[in-house]
Amino acid sequence: MKKISIILCIALIGIMWSCKLEEKKTAEAPLIGKPAIELKSDLMTPEVLWSFGRLSEPELSPDKKTLVYGVTYYDVAQNKSNRELYVIGSDGQNLKQITTTKFSEYQALWSPDGKKIGFMSTESGSMQAWEMNPDGSNRKQITNIENGINGFKYSPDQKKILYTAEVFPENPQKTLYEGLPKASGKIYNDLMYRHWDTWVQSYSHIFQADLTTGMITKGTDVMLNEPYESPLSPFGGMEQINWSPDSKAIAYTCRKKKGMEYAKSTNSDIYLYELESGKTSNISEGMMGYDVAPVFSPNGKMIAWQSMERDGYESDKNRLFVYDFETKTKTDFTKNFDQNAESLAWSDNNKSIWFISDFHATDEIYRLDIADGKIAKITEGIHNYTGVIPAGDKLIATRMSMSMPTEIYFVDPATGKDSPITTTNKDLLEKITMARIEQRWIKTTDNKDMHTWIIYPPHFDSTKKYPTLLYCEGGPQSTVSQFWSFRWNFQMMAANGYIIVAPNRRGLPGFGQAWNEQISGDYGGQNMKDYLSAIDAMTKESYVNKDKLGCVGASYGGFSVYWLAGNHNKRFKAFIAHDGMFNLESQYLETEEMWFVNWDLGGPFWDKNNKIAQRSFANSPHRFVQNWDAPILCIHGELDYRIVATQGMQAFNAAVLRGIPAELLYFPDENHWVLKPQNGILWQRTFFNWLDRWLK
């Protein structure tokens, strides 16, 4: 439901033991590194999908010659994962695995002199900072902070580190618990008492500490004991905090609000903490939306960050702002650029900023030239770039597509041409026949052109008729781009014999801000007509079996499934909704991020004078249950606090009470996603068992 990139969702998974389709080892023996895979056919299966290595977090050495990155593998039998670190030359040569432990290594980064690789590990019992030689030798723990830390960064002069750790405020109600050591009840008196999948009992703070005095056991609180968090939960990481090049200041992202004020607002700012004086200043003061991810220019004279304009609108345009320390001026370099700007990276000469932007359902690399403010598109293709690192006269970038998990690529900034540096999953990909992917532009009911991906089954035969799925995207404002998902995987759907229709309906970025914003306050409106336009256009094809249509989606896509189930006019023969909103009145009071429902639904359902809100709640899917006439599978996780599990239960109960064939797949230990290996495979098996039952 919240707009987040697929690569960030993948990063939340945690990381890995290997997985075989057929075990040939004892259940408890660790397999570290690339797993051995045996395929029974050339088609994707859930077991094969969970066997792919998941590459993430590449970091380039200071001399631009070597990359360090992590790869996660899963062991399905043990229901565990393990993540190991690798180094490879930036020319794609000299690949080496440098860790072989049962403790996953995270957040690898180079020391400024390039002589060490820092990383995070639980080897000592809690998550702490470690470092080692670039070849993996001489592992050494460098922090021993009580309760562990969340992440760290070296200062450029390598004399200090900053780290983030949880702060646990004193319980204001502690006198009520006297003599009650076994009492489990928690007392709350304000909002945001739980967030996404966690009951809020602490907040993350930034600390700085001297690296030259041996083991670090305590640091200085950069946030001056204020009751606020940095980075922003639940998805913010160390990209929201950075050192100045002279090591004299720390820039960080913070939303200095709490309780109900925090729950209603997205207004975060960029703060600058000066180590010598202890002074903190707000360099984005007066800017009312999300301001995140500050990045200093190499010479320290400027700082760039991503900025949204409006408070409460989490899917506003991501602008590229630059602050000049000498002139004390802020400049929006994307004022005339009707796209988002993300993953900012300065050029070595301080003259340009590289960034990622979504355009027409692919994420590409762009360059901003500071002198004249011109923006140039560098890459083009059927893929998503997810990050970019300047490396002298070339670029290093991570890239994925619907047909390939993330790998690291060399990109020529002059031509945009790329070539792979890593080939983590090459052996497995070569054994699988992938689906053909096609782009179409389909006319909507208001005569707009809508981009739609069509994915065909492997070994597609146009003389045959295929059952077809309408895919409904979540977010709601998250592009149907060239993402590789380990759950909503189009190649997996196609391998099971389905054609997939995946439209970039109204309310998605990459097609201009007007297209993106239309959905707010119009749930059940034009975007639902867009879905029907897409599936109706495809049913005109001879190879689409219009009597065997299904409709699937998660989060806002789950809401879409529930709404379409009551408004599809006999089009679909089966539905699947994962973590979807079913009753919007319940949703308004059950969710934690109030800014979302206030913006997208228009406000509370009790405000009878608010026409936008009343239109939203009148289009709640539960109001159309009397029209349900097709089988439905409802899936939900108990730890999903964004859209709580009772939303799925309400939908399931309604279907059963109405005599509609229905199933409920309930995960007591999953959140808005399904992250555990065996749960993930159960999800896939249940998904296709349901579709095959009604569509084949």
Q: Tens digit of pLDDT for each residue in 363-412?
A: 999 999 999 999 999 999 999 999 999 999 999 999 999 999 999 999 99
Domain presence at residue 497: yes
Q: Kindly report the backbone phi and psi dihedral angles of residue 229, in degrees, each rounded to the nearest multiple of 5, phi listed first.
A: -115, 150
Question: What band does 641 get if pLDDT is binned at 50, 70 and 90?
Answer: very high
Active site residue 555: yes
Catalytic residue (choose from 383, 451, 622, 672):
672
What's the pLDDT at 11?
A: 38
Residue 511 has pLDDT above 90, yes or no: yes
Mean per-residue pLDDT, 225-233:
96
What's the pLDDT at 18?
A: 33
d(CA 632, CA 558): 11
Exposure pattern of 663-692 as b/e (b: 16+ CB <10 Å)? bbbebeebbbbbbbbebbbebbeebbebbe
Query: In this structure, are residues 572 and 532 in contact, taking their beta carbons and an 8 Å threshold?
Result: no
Query: In this structure, are residues 505 and 477 in contact, taking their beta carbons and an 8 Å threshold?
Result: no
Lowest model confidence (mean pLDDT) among 37-41, 223-227, 415-419 = 37-41
Residue 10 has pLDDT above 70, yes or no: no
Active site residue 113: no
Residue 334 has pLDDT above 60, yes or no: yes
What's the pLDDT at 35?
A: 63
Mean per-residue pLDDT, 629-633:
98
Which residues is 396 bridged to in the sheet? 389, 410
pLDDT digits (tens, 9 = 90+) for 593-621: 999 999 999 999 999 999 999 999 999 99
72 vs 21, more confident: 72
What letter would DSSP give residue 316?
S
pLDDT digits (tens, 9 = 90+) for 38-52: 788 999 999 999 999
pLDDT digits (tens, 9 = 90+) for 141-176: 999 999 999 999 999 999 999 999 999 999 999 999
Helical spans, DSSP H, in 601-676: 611-618, 645-657
Contacts 24+ apart (CB under 8 A), 391-395: 391/60, 391/64, 391/90, 392/64, 392/348, 394/90, 395/354, 395/365
SS (H, E, C) 333-392: CCCCCCCCCEEEEECCCCCEEEEEEEECCEEEEEEEECCCCCEEECCCCCCEEEEEEEEC
- Residue 659: CB partners within 8 Å, gap ≥ 6? none
Q: Compute the mean pLDDT over every residue in the chain, rounded to the nearest whole number.
A: 94
Q: How far is CA 407 from CA 234, 429, 616, in A?
A: 25, 12, 41
CATH number of the domain encompassing residue 547: 3.40.50.1820
Domain presence at residue 222: no
Write out the two tokens for 510. 């990459």
Residue 17 has pLDDT above 80, yes or no: no
Domain presence at residue 123: no
Write out the two tokens for 26. 């004892």
What's the pLDDT at 22?
A: 31
Query: In this structure, are residues 190 and 260 in contact, taking their beta carbons and an 8 Å threshold?
Result: yes
Catalytic residue (choose from 358, 579, 600, 640):
640
Say how many domains are in the chain. Answer: 1
Could you tell me the sign of the dihedral formed by the alpha carbons of 617, 622, 623, 627, in that order? Answer: positive
How would you class 237 by CB atoms within 10 Å of its CB: exposed for 0-12, middle for 13-18, buried for 19 or more?
Answer: middle
Residue 26 has pLDDT above 90, yes or no: no
Domain presence at residue 595: yes
Write out the two tokens for 58. 């590449």
d(CA 288, CA 255): 11
Query: In this structure, are residues 166 and 204 in contact, taking their beta carbons and an 8 Å threshold?
Result: yes
pLDDT digits (tens, 9 = 90+) for 297-320: 999 999 999 999 999 999 999 999
d(CA 301, CA 292): 19
Nearest to 53 by CA among 324, 428, 379: 428
Domain presence at residue 84: no
pLDDT digits (tens, 9 = 90+) for 239-278: 999 999 999 999 999 999 999 999 999 999 999 999 999 9
Token pair 């109001």: residue: 623
Residue 680 has pLDDT above 70, yes or no: yes
What letter would DSSP give residue 188?
-
End-to-end Cα separation, the chain, in angstroms: 31
What's the pLDDT at 631?
A: 98
What's the pLDDT at 38?
A: 76
**DSSP line for 65-120:** SEEEEEEEEEETTTTEEEEEEEEEETTS---EE----SS--EEEEE-TTSS-EEEE
Domain presence at residue 341: no
Nearest to 15 by CA among 52, 40, 62, 66: 52
3-state helix, strand, coil in the chain (%, to 5): 20, 30, 50
Could you tell me the sign of the dihedral formed by the alpha carbons of 204, 206, 210, 211, in that order? Answer: positive
pLDDT digits (tens, 9 = 90+) for 513-550: 999 999 999 999 999 999 999 999 999 999 999 999 99
Write out the two tokens for 347. 């050029």
Mean per-residue pLDDT, 448-474:
98
What's the pLDDT at 2?
A: 45
Domain presence at residue 630: yes
**Cis peptide leading into residue 169 (ω within 30°):** no
d(CA 130, CA 216): 11
d(CA 343, CA 365): 10
Residue 203 has pLDDT above 70, yes or no: yes
Catalytic residue (choose from 61, 555, 616, 620):
555
What's the pLDDT at 610?
A: 97
pLDDT digits (tens, 9 = 90+) for 80-133: 999 999 999 999 999 999 999 999 999 999 999 999 999 999 999 999 999 999
Single-letter amino acid code for the residue at 141: Q
Could you tell me the sign of the dihedral formed by the alpha carbons of 102, 108, 111, 115, in that order? Answer: positive
H or E stretch at 202: none
Q: How many CA atoms lie within 13 A of 536 on its CB side?
A: 13
Could you tell me the sign of the dihedral formed by the alpha carbons of 552, 553, 556, 559, in that order? Answer: positive
Task: Give the structural domain span for 541.
Answer: 433-695
Query: In this structure, are residues 575 and 550 in contact, taking their beta carbons and an 8 Å threshold?
Result: yes
d(CA 620, CA 583): 6
Question: What band does 362 get if pLDDT is binned at 50, 70 and 90?
Answer: very high
What's the pLDDT at 34?
A: 63
d(CA 525, CA 616): 9
How would you class 278 by CB atoms within 10 Å of its CB: exposed for 0-12, middle for 13-18, buried for 19 or more?
Answer: exposed
What's the pLDDT at 32?
A: 56
Domain presence at residue 622: yes
Q: pLDDT exceeding 70 applies to what percent of the chain?
A: 95
